[in-house]
Amino acid sequence: MPNLKQLIREIPDWPKPGILFYDITTLMKDQAGQAAVIDGLKSSVNADEIDAVIGIEARGFFFAPTVAHSLGKGFIPVRKPKKLPAATESVEYALEYGTDKLEIHKDAIQPGQRILIVDDVLATGGTAAAVAQLVEKLGGKVVALAFVIELDFLSGRDKLGKHRIHSLLHY
C-alpha cells in the first residue's frame, strides 16, 4: 500500500494567500497511488447499496467515473453553470465571498435512486452539501459521500450531518 500523503503535493498560498492546496495530480499519475485511491473510494459502499455515482466538477471527475465502473454502476456529472445541454436542476450555495451554483440534468436521477457522491477534498462542506441537496431535489437518496481528503479543522462534515462520510486521508 503506497503512502498516499507522500504522493500528494502541498502548495502553500495557492490559489490565494493562506490556503495550503492539496494537489492530487501527483497522486493520480502514480499507478499504485491511483489504484489505492480508487479502491479506497470504492470500498466506501457495497455495490448493491447504490444505483449510480456522482462526480463533482472538476476534480471529482478524476475519480468518480472509475469508481462507478469498478462498482458496475453509471456515472452522473454535477457541473458548473451553463455546461449541461439538456434541462437542469440547480442549487446555489455560499462561498467565503458571494455564492456559486451547480447543476445536474433533471433526468439524471429517477426518484428513489440511491447515490454515492465523490469528490477530491471535503473542506468547508458547502459544495458537498449543495450536491446532496441537488440529489434530494430530484427525489434521489444520498447513500454516502466519499472523499480522498478531509480537512478536519474546517468541520465540513457538520454540514453533512445525517449523511455517511468516508474520507481516505485526514489533515
Side chain identity at residue 72, one-letter code: G
Q: Is 157 a catalytic residue?
A: no
Which residue among 9, 57, 59, 89 is the active-site one?
59
Binding interface with ligand AMP (CB under 6 A)? 19-22, 56, 59, 119-128, 156
Q: Is 164 a catalytic residue?
A: no
Q: Of 10 and 110, which CB lies nearer to ligand AMP in the complex structure? A: 10
Number of other residues whose CB lies within 10 A of the CB of residue 49 = 13
* Shortest reach from residue 111's CB to ligand AMP, in Å: 27
* Shortest reach from residue 48's CB to ligand AMP, in Å: 28
> What's the rounded Cα separation, in Å, for the pair 25 and 74?
24
Q: Of 110 and 170, which CB lies nearer to ligand AMP in the complex structure? A: 170
Q: Of 35 and 94, which CB lies nearer to ligand AMP in the complex structure? A: 94
Q: How far apart are the first and last CA of the chain?
A: 19
- DSSP state string for 28-54: HTSHHHHHHHHHHHHTTS-GGG-SEEE
Residues catalogued as catalytic: 59, 96
